[in-house]
Structures are given as structure tokens and as C-alpha cells.
């Protein structure tokens, strides 16, 4: 299971999580995408789910691991999405992550969770989640990242004109960079038009390849 998170809004965490899920699905993997922030339906260009989701399942004292699958909605042939749910104010504390990780372990395939800026990254490792930080090479984002728990890997969203390099990011945070994703207008247009799920480009495929290489290390 992969937990994507960031220390600053606008870092591209949701787009990277969606692209990673779609690119892994292109390789024939069954992918379960979990939305802890609420932005994935719009990013993927699917209708906003009106059914219960992650927060509803976590809030119910009677929720069983076997019932979590009832809340997923299809995105593509190999990608299913667990929407955030109808309860907006819900903190993903350690107990909630324990229940979620236990339920997701029964699914098989690949699970990717978009945590955004949720504090849940504090508990990722203890719940067998691979912690992946999404960050841009800017001073504010990196300053916050150095004050957060060290991730297992980093995805750098590259921006032209930045003084800091990928090497600087890796050195400051102390974790390996698994992929570099340049800001690309075609990705932004795909998100804006709701076509990201059907227009996966080579950069996203390289993200998948980079992750596979890291996984084998």
C-alpha cells in the first residue's frame, strides 16, 4: 500500500496519486485508489459520488473489513475509487488507519491513498503503508518537509526557474527521489477537462516505472 502526502497545498499530491494509479493499471494491475481529501473524483473526471465512502465507513462502529468494498466505485476497468464520503470533518487518527489498513490488506492488488495534507503521514509506516512525499523544490515546502517524519520515497514536481535542485531535495529530506515529474500543461488540461483517466501520458508511465524500480530495491 502506498500513502501519498504533502506538507503544502498545491503540491500536486492528488494528481500524482491518480496518475500513479492509472499508470499501474495500464500494466494490468488491479488498483484500489482511496480518497482521504475529496478531490479525486474531479481530478479523474468522474461524477461526484453520492454514496457513502471512507469517512462513513470509519465513523460506523459496526463497519466490518468485508463491507469496505461496498463503497468503491469504478473508474476504469482496473481502477476502483473509494470516495472520501459524506462526513467532511473526520481526522484520520492512528486507530482509524489501523482499521483501514487491515481492511485494505484483504483486497490484494495495489492500493494507493491520497492523504493530501492530512496528519495521517505520522502513522504510515506503523501501518505498513509506503510513505511517499510529493513536494516541489521550494523553500517553504522543503522547510515543512524537514520538520515532518522522513518518507520512504519522494516524488519531486519540477518547476522551471527554481534555484533548488532534485539533489537538494533528496539531501535535505534524507530520502530517495523515486521520480521527477515536470509541470506539463497537457496534464493540467487533462485534469481541467476531466480526461485524466483516459489521457495518460509517457511522464505518468515513467512514474510507474520509477516506482517499480524502487520497490525492487
Per-residue pLDDT, 194: 62
- Report d(CA 154, CA 180) in Å as an integer: 9
Phi, then psi, of 31 in degrees rounded to 5: -120, 135
Q: Looking at per-residue confidence, does 128 or 63 come out higher?
A: 63
Q: Are the beta carbons of 199 and 12 closer than 8 angstroms?
A: no
Q: Is 155 exposed, middle or buried (0-12, 13-18, 19+ CB in 10 A)?
A: buried
Per-residue pLDDT, 207: 54
| pLDDT band for position 65 (cuts 50, 70, 90) | confident
| pLDDT band for position 212 (cuts 50, 70, 90) | very low
Which DSSP category does 175 fall into?
S
Q: Which three cell numbers stand for residue 188?
A: 493540467
Record the pTM: 0.82
The predicted-structure confidence for 135-177, as pLDDT tens digits, reads as follows 999 888 899 888 888 899 999 998 888 888 999 999 999 999 9
Phi, then psi, of 216 in degrees rounded to 5: -85, -10
pLDDT at 205 > cutoff 50: no
Phi, then psi, of 145 in degrees rounded to 5: -65, -35
Residues 6 or more apart whose CB falls under 8 angstroms from that of 62 comprise none
Amino acid at each position: 500500500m502506498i500513502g501519498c502526502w504533502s506538507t503544502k497545498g498545491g503540491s500536486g499530491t492528488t494528481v500524482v496519486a491518480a496518475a500513479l494509479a492509472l499508470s499501474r493499471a495500464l500494466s494490468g494491475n488491479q488498483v484500489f485508489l482511496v480518497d482521504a481529501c475529496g478531490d479525486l473524483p474531479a481530478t479523474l473526471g468522474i461524477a461526484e459520488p453520492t454514496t457513502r465512502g471512507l469517512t462513513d465507513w470509519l465513523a460506523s462502529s459496526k463497519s466490518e473489513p468485508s463491507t469496505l468494498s461496498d463503497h468503491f466505485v469504478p473508474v476504469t476497468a482496473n481502477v476502483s475509487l473509494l470516495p472520501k464520503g459524506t462526513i467532511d470533518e473526520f481526522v484520520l487518527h492512528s486507530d482509524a488507519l489501523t482499521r483501514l489498513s487491515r481492511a485494505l490488506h484483504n483486497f490484494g492488488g495495489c492500493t494507493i491513498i491520497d492523504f493530501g495534507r492530512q496528519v495521517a503521514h505520522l502513522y504510515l509506516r506503523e501501518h505498513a503503508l509506503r510513505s511517499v512525499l510529493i513536494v516541489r523544490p521550494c523553500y517553504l515546502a522543503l522547510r515543512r518537509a524537514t520538520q515532518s517524519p522522513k518518507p520512504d520515497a519522494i516524488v519531486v514536481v519540477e518547476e522551471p526557474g527554481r534555484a533548488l535542485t532534485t539533489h537538494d531535495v533528496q539531501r535535505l529530506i534524507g530520502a530517495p527521489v523515486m521520480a521527477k515529474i515536470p509541470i506539463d500543461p497537457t496534464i493540467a488540461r487533462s485534469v481541467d477537462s476531466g480526461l485524466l483517466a483516459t489521457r495518460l501520458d509517457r511522464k505518468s508511465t515513467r512514474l510507474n516505472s520509477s516506482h517499480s524500480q524502487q520497490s525492487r530495491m
